[in-house]
Amino acid sequence: METNSNLVAIESDPDEKYAKELEVAVKAVHVACLLCQKVQEKLIFNGDGDVQAKNDNSPVTIADWSVQATVSWILSQAFGSENVSIIAEEDTESLSKPTAANLLSSVVTTVNDSLSTAATFGLQPPPTPLKPAQVLEFISRCNSTGGPTGRFWVLDPVDGTLGFVRGDQYAIALALIENGQVVLGVLGCPNYPVNKEWLNYQNGYRRMLSRLSKTGLESWDGKGCVLYAKKGSKKAWMQPLVSGDKSFVWPNSARPINVSTIDNPVLATFCEPVEKANSSHSFTQGLAHSVGLRNQPLRVYSMVKYAAIARGDAEIFMKFARAGYKEKIWDHAAGVVIIEEAGGVVTDAGGRRLDFSKGMYLQGLDRGIIACAGASLHEKIMRAVDASWNSSSL
């Protein structure tokens, strides 16, 4: 089958640094998005989905393991397994238990179904379906510990799993880090269409899907997007999510994105995590009032918050976790580089850039994380943090 594998947004020069890595990453995330859409629809409409609890009581689903295996396989095929090092969120401990045979079988089926669509995106599918041992191996290969030297990928297979199981926003996040610097990032947002108004269905995506199902999901042709950027390019791009329908010529209408030009807090929209355990809503509410933010906060699961700022749908993201909480690099790497290349600013609350060179966690964060559409807005938020911090309980 003849395929069009040239991404609209990637330069045609084959010698351009990270061009192949970016192209493969975008394709891998696109495949993963379609996988997640199918799993979520079964989970929401049919109740057909196994949700497990990890040691920290956070949820993990068939989609988490399946995406990790799928992306790991695609990267290994593209660059050679000996050249691919990956940090990712999931392991195979619970999936390898004798009592998890049915769960593992579902993951294997999902992975093989997903990889069977690879040719649609110019990727070579496996010559034969992967066996359970192979799927476990590709998940287990994602065991890098990162650090300040060398090259490794960072994957969050389903960022915002709680949003995923509730029928709301979630993301697939993939980034490449080289010598401690994020050099490219890809964010797949299967429930975040080009039309930004849909994002306002906060915690109501299930209801919106139900409404659409009455007329057919195919009638909604703007469902989902993939955002990507390469460090230093001063460009970020958005690709509408295409289906597996072979009538589509892929890629489909990638276009540049930029952060909002709004720098007046009165007009700005700010995002924060849905769960109070991940960020202090009371502190951000106080900050919002002190700088004049009048719009209600947009509480969104996952790195879709980063996507909203990069696309110009929101201007501020603030996260102030409780003392002792460790931020994982897979929750931020892809989103940070996309916002920065779209013209935005991301730092900790002390104005320092996030450090991805210390392993699996962001070490030395000053209080919290602030992402803004521009430097002026960013400075106003940081001043408000300085003025309010001593009275906080964080």
Task: Summarize pLDDT for 33-79 with one digit per residue, the tens.
Answer: 999 999 998 887 766 556 665 554 456 789 999 999 999 999 999 99
Structure tokens belonging to residue 19: 């061009």
Q: Which amino acid is at 372?
A: C
Q: For residue 299, what are the β-bridge partners?
A: 272
Q: For residue 229, what are the β-bridge partners?
A: 185, 236
Q: Is 79 part of a structural domain of the chain?
A: yes
Give one word for 237, left, alpha or beta, with left for phi > 0 and alpha for psi -120 to 50.
beta
Segment among 53-57, 117-121, 149-153, 369-373 with least mean pLDDT: 53-57
Same-domain check for residues 248 and 292: no
Specify the number of domains making up the chain.
Answer: 2
Q: Is 4 part of a structural domain of the chain?
A: no
Same-domain check for residues 242 and 208: yes
pLDDT of residue 393: 58
Same-domain check for residues 106 and 33: yes
Q: Is 1 part of a structural domain of the chain?
A: no
Domain final position from 215, 233, 257? 257
281 lies in which domain range?
265-391
- The pLDDT tens digits for 362-386 are 988 988 899 999 999 999 888 888 8
Kindly state the average pLDDT of the residues 91-103. 91
Q: Which amino acid is at 101?
A: A
Residue 232, classed as helix, strand or coil, is: coil
The answer on pLDDT for 215 being more than 70 is no
DSSP 236: E
pLDDT of residue 285: 79
More confident residue, 260 or 203: 260
- The pLDDT tens digits for 14-30 are 448 899 999 999 999 99
Q: Which amino acid is at 185?
A: G
The answer on pLDDT for 309 being more than 90 is yes
The answer on pLDDT for 1 being more than 60 is no
Question: Average model confidence (pLDDT) for the chain?
Answer: 84
pLDDT of residue 250: 47
Same-domain check for residues 56 and 162: yes
Catalytic residues: 64, 161
Q: Is 10 part of a structural domain of the chain?
A: no
DSSP 371: E
- The pLDDT tens digits for 268-288 are 988 877 776 667 777 777 777
Same-domain check for residues 231 and 348: no
Q: Is 3 part of a structural domain of the chain?
A: no
249-284: buried (b, 16+ CB within 10 Å) or exposed (e) per residue? ebbeebeebebbebbebeebbbbbbbeeebbbbebb
Distance CA 332, CA 335 (A): 5
Q: Is 5 part of a structural domain of the chain?
A: no
Q: Is 127 part of a structural domain of the chain?
A: yes
* C-alpha dihedral (351, 354, 358, 363), degrees to nearest 10: 50
Q: What is the CATH number of the domain that holds 369?
A: 3.40.190.80
Among 312, 273, 266, residue whose Cα is nearest residue 288: 266
pLDDT of residue 171: 97
Place of tokens 């859409």: 37
Same-domain check for residues 237 and 220: yes
Which range of 168-182, 201-215, 318-332 scores highest in mean pLDDT? It is 168-182
